Amino acid sequence: MSMSRLRLGWWIGLATLCLGAKLPADTIQGYVLHAGTGQRLANVDVAFLIGSEDGSMAPMASTKSDTQGRFDFSGPFLTAGTQFALRADYDGVEYPSSILHLGAQDEIIIEVYPAGDDASGLRITNHNIFLGIVGETVEAAHLVQADNGGDQTYVGPLVDGHIRGLEFVVPAQLASLTPHTGELVRLSATRVFDTQPLPPGPSQIAFTFQVDPEAFDGSYVHEVVYPTQHLDLFIQPVDVQLGETFQDLGVVDLHSQQYRHYRTHDLSPGQRLRIDLPITRPLRWALKWALLALVPAILIGVTAVARRPVPANDVSSETPSGAAATTPEIPSTQAQVLQQLAQVRSQRAQARGDEARELDQQYQELMAQARDIYRQLPQA
């Protein structure tokens, strides 16, 4: 793209955002498909999301599928190589696409499923637990690969306004509980649940916590909630010995740390596994949460497919053969201003009083930034 086209496209993009003008531009098109029946669905909300440098995805426009289930987005802000994602909202569940690049695909199909509360098809393909001790405090990280073998998106009953998704048993006395892939809600002293719906197929959940040393008697007990194909334990220190229930796979190096790797198979709901840890000896153990970025490498025998919105720098491999990946041509500052303008405009539609006036001020400031960027672009 020439700089003159870039300059013109940037300014027209602002005009589209500000005035709602419909101008010729590249188009994103596709349709919403019911994965169970194979039929296209009409009147489904579809959002266009654009990415920024910080990895977030924000809605910039929305539409509804027509009577043939089709949708399209067009606007001058859609330049070749632009990173974007789409999200359909069906039966109360959001279905985000992976990160896509404009021009790398002719048509986009968003598959959706009916929602239901039948948990009979839920199972855990891999449950990975990292255990260690800082002083006398047990620290644990759980990386869970779940699979919904049914034909509906699992949506459990609402609890205090939260969807009751996958449940986990945790120690009663937690010093901290931190979710890394969504939100966790305490159901009872020893149960928490994830709040995300589970579409058919694989999903991934990660969380960490500490156990209050005064409540820890030297044994960590893991209770199985769902049928579990593989349970993998990564333990420090590496000389911890477990019973015959676990297969000793030796010492492994992960992110400059050594762990003793144990595995067991085919666990049933309600089964309890006792893991004895030597709390009386000081340990040099620091679980670095950067390990969460290594989930695909440490999940044994599993192809990790996250069902949550993915970071904008994760390039999707789902492009048609022969379609070349391209690099976005709009500078990041310009893209961010466009995104912020879209966000403010969306928020302003619902705002009243002081909030509305504050958003109006933000909008004017962003427009001033946009004009400055326009003036700095090279002339044709």
String of DSSP letters for 11-34: HHHHHHHHH-------EEEEEEEE
Say if CB 168 and CB 176 are below 8 A apart: no
180 shares its domain with 144: yes
Query: Dihedral of the CA atoms 279, 284, 286, 291 (nearest 10)?
Result: -100
> Could you tell me if residue 225 is inside a domain?
yes
Judge if 91 and 132 occupy the same domain.
Answer: no
Domain that holds residue 134: 122-298
> Number of structural domains, the chain?
2
Residue 111 domain flag: no
Q: Are 318 and 85 in contact (CB under 8 A)?
A: no
Considering the domain architecture, whether residues 184 and 91 belong to the same structural domain is answered as no
Tokens describing residue 62: 């929305």
Picking from 3-17, 68-82, 355-369, which range would have the lowest pLDDT averaged per residue?
3-17
* Same domain, residue pair 261 and 342: no
- Domain-embedded: residue 114: no
Q: What pTM did the predictor assign?
A: 0.64
Please state, rounded to an integer, the average pLDDT across all residues of the chain. 75
Are 172 and 212 in contact, with CB atoms under 8 Å apart?
no
CA distances from 224 to 15, 132, 254, 380 (A): 56, 20, 25, 66
Output the domain CATH number for residue 332. Answer: 2.60.40.10
Residue 20 has pLDDT above 70, yes or no: no
Within 75-152, strands assigned E span 83-90, 93-96, 100-101, 108-112, 115-116, 122-134, 137-148
Q: Would 117 be classed as within a structural domain?
A: no
Based on the fold, state whether residues 88 and 197 are members of the same structural domain: no
Domain closes at, from 266, 298, 330 = 298
Residue 310 counted as domain residue = no
Residue 310, pLDDT > 60, answer: no
CA distances, 126 to each of 18, 177, 233 (Å): 49, 21, 11
Please choose, from the candidates 47, 41, 32, the residue with its C-alpha nearest in 3D space to the C-alpha of residue 86. Answer: 47
Asked, for residue 110, whether it belongs to a domain, the answer is: no
Residue type, 179: P
196 and 291 inside one domain: yes
User: Of 298, 328, 344, which one is at a domain's C-terminal end?
Assistant: 298
What's the whole-number mean pLDDT along residues 163-183?
88
pLDDT of residue 172: 83
Q: Which helix (H) or strand (E) holds 74?
A: strand 70-74
Does residue 278 have a cis peptide bond before it, meaning omega lies within 30 degrees of 0? no
Tens-place pLDDT, residues 123-141: 999 999 998 876 667 889 9
- Residue 123 amino acid letter: R
Percent share of the chain, pLDDT over 70: 66
Asked if residue 112 belongs to a domain, the reply is: no
Q: What is the pLDDT of residue 264?
A: 95
Same domain, residue pair 154 and 213: yes
Confidence band for 379, pLDDT divided at 50, 70 and 90: very low
